[in-house]
Amino acid sequence: MCRKIRFKVALAAVVMFASASGFAQSSGEATYKAKCQMCHGATGAADTGAGKATKTLPVSDPVVKGMSADDMVAVIKNGKMKMQPFKDKLSDQEIKDVAAYFRTLK
């Protein structure tokens, strides 16, 4: 009887821990890390090799700061300069989530 109770308590703790860690990263953050970070960098500074090679603007650049959320969504969808379009690779919601996450990098 005592083993069953301990097992159930341990199982509940594992389930709670797994669900809590699943919410630690937003979908925008996960998509950014998978699709954008290689050029834009972990902090949005565009300090990666690919970012420097393609002359990617950092999030702190006045041009980027001046973009509205809709402007960012359009750039992600359609691409700009050397940035490839993601309209066929990401859903509209994923694109909005990535734009929202990118705007949090400062």
Identify the pLDDT of residue 94.
96
- Helix axis angle, 92-104 to 69-78, nearest 10°: 120
DSSP letter string, 36-48? THHHH-TTSS--S
Share of the chain above pLDDT 70, in %: 80
* 12 secondary structure, DSSP code: H
What letter represents residue 64's amino acid? V
Maximal CA-CA distance, the chain: 67
Mean pLDDT of 21-25: 54
Identify the pLDDT of residue 98.
96
Identify the pLDDT of residue 21.
47
Q: Sketch out the chain's domains with CATH numbers.
A: 26-104 (1.10.760.10)
pLDDT tens digits along 26-46: 899 999 999 999 999 999 999
